[in-house]
Amino acid sequence: MNDTKKFVLPALPYNPNDLSPTISSQTVDLHYGKHHQAYFNMLNTFAEGTKFMDMDLDEVVVKSFEEDNKKVFNNAGQAWNHILYWDQMKPGGSNAPSGKLLEKINESFGDYETFKTNFTQQAVGVFGSGWAWLIEKDGKLDLRGLPNAENPLAHGEHALMGIDVWEHAYYLDYKNVRPDYVKAVLDNLINWDFVADRLR
């Protein structure tokens, strides 16, 4: 048992005001500084003194989901989900997908506009709190809408991108209008080069 280890919130890869106006610095301060930090704190609390402390975060997600350990999974899942969430965005985004990623989008969804429409519908279709995911499976791309902390990793699938549709992600900036938030993030913040680098 590793008694000194703690799961640590990674640094935000940009300044909290860099995503503005699509996501305000107020939202980032709360979402990263309070919510994301709290998932790490709770994970450390619930995993303390257990075998989970000897695993890396990916393993904790997979194992705790498999064992239906909800206290550990909910916090490990959210810790993992938000790392991808922050990493996949950059101020000003990176325009539209290109190269191999664009080819796969065209192959799997028809074209980029259809992909964005379908992704937004998937995000709107998540009832209550959860995430909309772009995944790669058997060489093709697909979408998943999953509740609460659930992610493709827990389901044995490979996530390329995930958009948080918990109200804390958008309520200050978009009130109840979830589709506007999702569209704005896709258009203005997603770093498609980062997403492309996750292709297997």
Residue at shortest CB range from Mn ion: 164
Nearest distance, CB of residue 129 and Mn ion, angstroms:
9
Shorter beta-carbon distance to Mn ion: residue 117 or 148: 148
Nearest distance, CB of residue 176 and Mn ion, angstroms:
16
Shorter beta-carbon distance to Mn ion: residue 75 or 108: 75
Nearest distance, CB of residue 5 and Mn ion, angstroms:
24
Name residue 146's amino acid.
L
Nearest distance, CB of residue 35 and Mn ion, angstroms:
5
Shorter beta-carbon distance to Mn ion: residue 79 or 101: 79
Share in percent of the chain as helix, strand, coil (round to 5):
55, 15, 35
Nearest distance, CB of residue 139 and Mn ion, angstroms:
30
Shorter beta-carbon distance to Mn ion: residue 53 or 169: 169
Smallest CA-to-CA distance from 163 within 152, 176, 154 is with 152
Query: Over 90-143, what HEC string results?
Result: CCCECECCCHHHHHHHHHHHCCHHHHHHHHHHHHHCCCCCEEEEEEEECCEEEE
Burial group, residue 128, by CB count within 10 angstroms (0-12, 13-18, 19+): exposed
Nearest distance, CB of residue 80 and Mn ion, angstroms:
12
Angle at 167 between CA 166 and CA 169, to 5 degrees: 75
What is the Cα–Cα distance from 70 to 194, expressed in whole angstroms? 30
107-117: burial string, b at 16+ Cβ within 10 Å, e else: ebbeebeebbe
Shorter beta-carbon distance to Mn ion: residue 150 or 164: 164
Shorter beta-carbon distance to Mn ion: residue 164 or 173: 164
Contact footprint for Mn ion (CB under 5 A): 164, 166, 169
